[in-house]
Amino acid sequence: MLKKYYGKIYNMLDEVTPLSKDCGVLCDKACCKEEDEPAGMFVFPFEEELLEKVDFGYLEESNCQYGEDKTAKIFYCTKPCNRSERPLSCRIFPLTPYRKNGRIKLIMNPAAKKMCPLARSLQPSQLEEAFEENVMRAMNRIQKLKDGDDYIDMLTEIADQFEEMNKKLR
């Protein structure tokens, strides 16, 4: 059941990409490269049930909580992934959902700005239209999961914290 639910979300984001061209040539695929300390990707609610079965990475608990004392997990990849199994966070990168006053919008993920030239220089509306649309469709489906809204609120708080940090570093 869950696999089918996430399968639909994954399918929405299988073919669409942030730009019509391969944006990896701009940055030498910075978002898939290991740095000294790998950043990891947040795992959406219940997605861990799919990711604990893949052979290209591992899950760890983050120090962020949502819902009723649920701890958000982070996925760390250890080698190039099987693209069809990559986490949702990788599929929506460099966008992230942002919810204020009950409405979701998409923003460039402030945590992505250090590594991603798209996140630093473009607005979400300047990305491929189909990509932005399908990320929004995917987030609408996430919202329908138990604690989906709380999870998006958690991502919103994290985005606010990164934005504050980015301002201090400017």
* Binding interface with ligand SF4 (CB under 6 A): 18, 23-24, 26-27, 29-32, 77, 80-81, 86-87, 90, 93-94, 115-118
Beta carbon of residue 99, minimum distance to ligand SF4 (angstroms, whole number): 22
Integer Cα distance of 113 and 120 in angstroms: 5
Are the CB atoms for 61 and 43 separated by under 8 Å? no
Integer Cα distance of 121 and 119 in angstroms: 6
Integer Cα distance of 39 and 74 in angstroms: 9
Are the CB atoms for 123 and 131 separated by under 8 Å? no
For ligand SF4, the closer CB: 65 or 121: 121
For ligand SF4, the closer CB: 129 or 146: 129
Beta carbon of residue 69, minimum distance to ligand SF4 (angstroms, whole number): 27
Beta carbon of residue 137, minimum distance to ligand SF4 (angstroms, whole number): 19
Are the CB atoms for 162 and 111 separated by under 8 Å? yes
For ligand SF4, the closer CB: 31 or 136: 31
